[in-house]
Amino acid sequence: MPVGPRLASPAPATARILVVDDDRRAASGLAQWLCGLGHHASAAGGVAEALQALGRGPCDACLVDAALPDAGAAQIAKAVRAAHASAAVVALVVPGADHTPTLALLRPDAILPQRAADAAVLAALDEARTAVAARAADAASCPVLGGHPSIRRVLDVVERIATTPATVLVTGESGTGKSLLARLIHDRSRRVGRFVEVACGSLSETLLESELFGHVAGAFTGATSDRSGRFLQADGGTLFLDEIATASPALQVKLLRVLQQMRFEPVGGSHTHTVDARIVLATNDDLGRLVAAGRFREDLFWRINVVTLEMPPLRARTGDVLPLAAHFLARVAARAGRPVTGFTAEAAEALERHTWPGNVRELEHAVERGVFLGRGPLVELADLPAPVAAARGREPAGEAAPLKRALAAPERQLIIDALEKSGWRRDAAAKALGINRTTLYKKLKRLGMDLATLGPTP
């Protein structure tokens, strides 16, 4: 923490700042100095006190001791960002200490050595604010949000192929953001034409053919005038064919020809049009399985399967839930004209633990409901849809549950080995494991281990 004479330099814009350190006296000293600069600063000595402070209102910045026990710093940072998406987090570190594991969880916007000079404190706050602003700018320029490695890999491929003419097939469950990815590919392609989207599954075969290729007057009942199709409208731009697996066998034949030659005739017409359009297709079906079942043409499959991008389900990247929720909240709150800044700790916990069968689309709708129904600056648990709110207290979705199960097997074996070596004396086994007898009992119960079936009872 800063020590010695305090700088009297004017502060930047007034901010709400929370200082958290298990050295409560040091945290209070720094908070008082920040108040002297015009900020609204408060101090907390641990996780419980920090969460209590956040319950009274969100903060704009948080300086948190990275050495708090039991990953407390990461817990506080998560709550700070959940309550206010634009909040900046500064990690207070001990010079020379290895904080790598903690910082990986904390993801600070700036790092400040404890007992740093006053000028360094202000510089760290400025650095953190700049980092938050840069992150917001990146989010605004990229509609496909997320920091999970699976999303990063998808975006990396997009950057490499966006300016090429390669046909792209986007796969993934409904609601994962396939159409957003298609639009991102177009935006990064530098094509001057339009982005044209067609939902193939929403139209009958006749209407879809007319929608894609256009028609001439008199081609069918109701065709009173010539009409250009979506392929022609996408000339010089990008044509996105969503739900491509629903195309009929007859339409698949026509699509194959168009994709090979980029030439077609409108329905009922004889004039051949030639276009230059980038083709992006999407499906939530397994096209390989459909080919094997004879429901999708193999030659068309290989024609569109040039570059395949798979959008992962939200349950497989739980770390992206709160950043996505914050993005949707800012957008909805601005549209609704409501001063909602984030989520309560309980609401954030429910968002993280829900399994999101509807993926990102379900998350967006849940956040919209929370903003519209909420009364205060934070979305509360009761403001969320019932299935989402009910998820609070469950085992985290996605990656955490498999990890817990994976760790249980070696823990179980270590306990059995210790018991065998100690002649099944539980006190001796507990001592060998470096725990007390009560903790051993709790572990046995959690792991479902019945010693009567494993070995002799002492």
Q: Read off the tokens for 85.
A: 């998406």
> How far is residue 34's CA from residue 437's CA, in Å, rounded to a whole number?
48
304 and 445 belong to one structural domain: no
330 and 442 belong to one structural domain: no
Q: Count Cα neighbours of 106 within 13 Å in the Cβ-side half-sphere.
A: 27
225 and 136 belong to one structural domain: no
230 and 198 belong to one structural domain: yes
Q: What is the pLDDT of residues 65-75, one digit of tens each?
A: 998 888 889 88
Q: Read off the tokens for 399.
A: 């990656």
pTM: predicted TM-score of the whole model, two decimal places? 0.69
CATH number (domain holding residue 416): 1.10.10.60
Q: What is the pLDDT of residues 86-142, one digit of tens each?
A: 889 999 998 888 778 778 778 899 999 988 888 999 999 999 999 888 877 766 666
Mean pLDDT over each residue of the chain, to the nearest integer: 84
The answer to the question of residue 9 being in a domain is no
The answer to the question of residue 280 being in a domain is yes
| 204 to 179, 207, 208, 247, 380: CA distances (angstroms) | 21, 5, 6, 9, 44
- Residues composing the chain: 458
From 249, 277, 310, the end of a domain falls on 310
Kindly report each contact of residues 34-42 with a partner whose C-beta sits within 8 Å and lies 24 or more positions away, as own/partner: 36/6, 37/9, 37/10, 37/11, 38/10, 38/11, 38/14, 39/11, 39/14, 39/15, 40/14, 40/15, 40/16, 41/16, 41/17, 42/17, 42/18
Domain count, the chain: 4
> Which pLDDT band holds residue 33 (cuts at 50, 70, 90)?
very high
170 and 124 belong to one structural domain: no
The answer to the question of residue 228 being in a domain is yes
For the ranges 166-175, 387-396, 411-420, the one whose mean pLDDT is highest? 166-175
Q: What is the pLDDT of residues 162-209, one digit of tens each?
A: 999 999 999 999 999 999 999 999 999 989 899 999 988 878 777 888
From 354, 389, 424, the end of a domain falls on 389
The answer to the question of residue 364 being in a domain is yes
Sequence-distant (≥ 6) Cβ neighbours of residue 72 within 8 angstroms: 46, 47
CATH number (domain holding residue 267): 3.40.50.300
CATH number (domain holding residue 79): 3.40.50.2300
The answer to the question of residue 125 being in a domain is yes
From 98, 125, 141, the end of a domain falls on 141
Q: Is pLDDT above 50 for 9?
A: no
Q: In terms of Cα–Cα distance, which of 71, 67, 51 is closest to 59?
A: 51
190 and 328 belong to one structural domain: no
The answer to the question of residue 86 being in a domain is yes
The residue range of the domain holding 426 is 400-454
374 and 244 belong to one structural domain: no
The answer to the question of residue 180 being in a domain is yes
216 and 73 belong to one structural domain: no
76 and 107 belong to one structural domain: yes
